[in-house]
């Protein structure tokens, strides 16, 4: 059956990447909304904010001063969640009280010296500088740690406490829960079919076309068949690659171009800065033999009906399994139909 024909009937979809199911209930899109609405953060910000601890030349909370940087800037998080030189774990008291000490580090990655920008508003060349920072930081941390997690939380709804354009990179000597699931299920698929799960998947999505938002010779952005969040997307390479630091110059350029396409569409959906959490998953650094892995990035945005109405994961979702109303196919249609010119610059384009 064509996926769009599921638009009226409840059904479950399987995520082969993590082994979990999601309940799709498209008929619920007809219900009126009387729940909570979020406040929209003001869009007008200065290019430089003397109170911002990420702006060039400003003093951070720990008393250290940022350099007068231009472009990107990375530094160790002043309040990091992971620490180095954690003492070894003591003897296990009981299998019911199992714990594991973890060593690691956390860094802040400033995408621009401009306080008033987001990745969506930056030019592809500027986004490529951010990609170069991801690559350089990952390559360095990979020499010491097993797992490297690049991510960005955008917007107050996602808990971001500072609007300055930035992300983070955490590195640890343990494999966290979500990538451990992906490691297991990619390995199972590889052993069963002697091929890569995500390579097979991107080829199928490109053939069908229903859920593809944008693509170029190197990359594709899709709303995954098993998406949980209303406008969740998956960024997939169309070539074999396991680590972001293995990208060549042409692939970095094409990645910047496709990131621009999806981020502008996100902002254009409700003509407001679109919140999300995004992050890269690449092969663990140890052991080195990871033939079943394929690099990819997840985008998890919470918005559902407007810039002020978000999707909650509560009740049934917390106690049973994930659930969504809007089908991935309709979400893809909405995103695909949006212009590639940012709404803030739409009038400028019309005047040219």
- Asked, for residue 305, whether it belongs to a domain, the answer is yes
Q: In the structure encoding, which two tokens stand for residue 141, read together?
A: 């941390």
CA distance 206 to 38: 35
CA dist 279 and 287 (Å) reads: 22
Catalytic residue among 115, 166, 185, 281: 166
Packing angle, helices 197-208 and 177-193, rounded to 10: 80
Confidence tier at 341 by pLDDT (50, 70, 90): very high
Cα-based angle 127, 133, 139 (whole degrees, multiple of 5): 140
Question: Which is nearest to 270 in space by CA: 157, 164, 352?
Answer: 157
Instruction: Give domain status of residue 208, yes or no.
Output: yes
Inside any domain, residue 4 = no
Kindly state whether residue 243 falls inside one of the protein's structural domains: yes
SS3 212: strand
The predicted structure's pLDDT at residue 42:
57
Domain that residue 80 falls in: 44-84+100-340
Structural tokens at position 351: 């005047």
* CATH number (domain holding residue 110): 3.30.428.10
Q: Does residue 250 lie in a domain region?
A: yes
pTM of the predicted protein model: 0.93
Give yes or no for residue 177 having a pLDDT over 90. Answer: yes
pLDDT single digits (tens) 75-91: 999 999 999 989 888 78
Q: What is the largest distance, in Å, between two alpha-carbon atoms of the chain?
A: 71
- For residue 39, tell me if it sits in a domain: no
Specify if 345 maps to a domain.
Answer: no
Q: Which residue has the tokens 């074999």?
A: 240
Residue 178 domain-assigned (yes or no) = yes
Q: What is the mean pLDDT of residues 276-285?
A: 97
Q: What is the pLDDT of residues 225-258, one digit of tens each?
A: 999 999 999 999 999 999 999 999 999 999 999 9
H-state helical runs in the chain: 124-141, 177-193, 197-208, 249-270, 316-319, 328-336, 346-351
Compute the distance between CA of residue 277 and CA of residue 264 in angstroms, rounded to an integer.
15
pLDDT band per the 50, 70, 90 thresholds, residue 34: very low
Total domain count, the chain:
1
298 annotated active-site: no
Please state which of the ranges 24-28, 62-66, 314-318 shows the lowest mean pLDDT. 24-28
């Amino acid at each position: 059956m064509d996926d769009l024909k599921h638009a009226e009937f409840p059904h479950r979809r399987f995520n082969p990447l993590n082994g979990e199911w999601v309940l799709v209930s498209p008929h619920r899109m007809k219900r009126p909304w009387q729940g909570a609405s979020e406040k929209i953060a003001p869009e007008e910000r200065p290019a430089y904010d003397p109170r911002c601890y990420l702006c060039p030349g400003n003093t951070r909370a720990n008393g250290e001063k940022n350099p007068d940087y231009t472009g990107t800037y990375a530094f160790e998080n002043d309040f990091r969640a992971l620490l180095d030189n954690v003492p070894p774990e003591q003897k296990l008291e009981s299998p019911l009280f199992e714990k594991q000490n973890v060593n690691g580090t956390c860094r802040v990655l400033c995408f621009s010296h401009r306080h008033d920008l987001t990745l969506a508003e930056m030019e592809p060349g500027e986004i490529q500088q951010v990609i170069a920072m991801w690559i350089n930081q990952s390559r360095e941390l990979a020499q010491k740690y097993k797992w490297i997690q690049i991510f960005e939380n955008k917007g107050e709804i996602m808990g971001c406490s500072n609007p300055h354009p930035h992300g983070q990179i955490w590195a640890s000597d343990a494999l966290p829960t979500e990538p451990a699931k992906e490691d297991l299920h990619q390995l199972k698929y590889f052993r069963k079919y002697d091929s890569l799960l995500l390579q097979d998947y991107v080829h199928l999505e490109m053939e069908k076309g229903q859920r593809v938002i944008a693509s170029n010779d190197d990359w594709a952005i899709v709303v995954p068949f098993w998406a949980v969040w209303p406008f969740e997307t998956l960024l997939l390479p169309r070539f074999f690659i396991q680590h972001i630091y293995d990208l060549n110059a042409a692939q970095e350029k094409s990645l910047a171009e496709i990131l621009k396409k999806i981020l502008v569409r996100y902002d254009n959906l409700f003509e407001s800065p679109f919140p999300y959490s995004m992050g890269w998953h690449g092969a663990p650094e140890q052991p080195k033999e990871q033939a079943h892995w394929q690099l990819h990035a997840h985008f998890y945005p919470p918005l559902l009906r407007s810039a002020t109405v978000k999707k909650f994961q509560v009740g049934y979702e917390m106690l049973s399994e994930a659930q969504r109303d809007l089908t991935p196919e309709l979400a893809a249609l909405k995103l695909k139909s949006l212009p590639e010119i940012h709404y803030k610059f739409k009038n400028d384009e019309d005047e040219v």
